[in-house]
Amino acid sequence: MKNQLIITSLIASSLLLTSCACFFSPDYDLTDEEAAFFDNLARMCGSKFIGESTYPDDPSHDFAGKQLVATIDGCGPRYVSIPFQVGEDKSRTWLIYKTGSGLRLRHDHRHEDGTPDEETLYGGYSAPYKGEKPTQYKQFFHADDYTAELIPAAQSNVWMLEYNPDTQEMTYYLERHQEPRYKAVLKLVEEQ
């Protein structure tokens, strides 16, 4: 009788754990290219890229003449975070999430004390752009409804994030109304 009780308890526990695992298991809906892009970023966890703005070339632009640093960190099964430093300003982080609607890019902006900026977590979902399909090294993120509500002028934004394994460069590029708005090119730094 005691053995039967133990076996019944073990079966019940196993069923409960299995049902909980199914209930809480994430349901990501990624294309092969999105999954490969995410995995490629995650594999570079800890990598640092240093570069500069290449567009616009206006010397009065906020980022003009400032060193740009992007470090891939916070690599988990659901997201990759990339803090993006502009000169001494460490207020920005790019977040790439797996979701049920593909990959999602968010821009997390924080004040020096860590509190969220008024305009934060804007971004969008991955999709082809201007007839170009995303790849394992390049994704386009179209502004989502949250972004359009938060920043109406940004409702046509499309961000592009690319890593070129041949040149070891990361490119962050933004278009608004299908016109260039910002571009940064950063080179992988080999750790010494």
Cα–Cα distance, 80 to 129 (Å, whole number) = 23
pLDDT over 70 at 60, yes or no: yes
End-to-end CA gap in the chain: 65
- Reported as a single tens digit per residue, the pLDDT across 64-112 is 999 999 999 999 999 999 999 999 999 999 999 999 999 999 999 999 9
* Angle at CA of residue 64, ends 173 and 62, nearest 5°: 85
Could you tell me which CATH class the domain 27-189 is placed in?
Answer: mainly beta
Q: Give domain limits for the chain.
A: 27-189
At 144-160, the pLDDT tens digits run 999 999 999 999 999 99
112: which residues sit within 8 A by CB, 6+ positions away?
A: 91
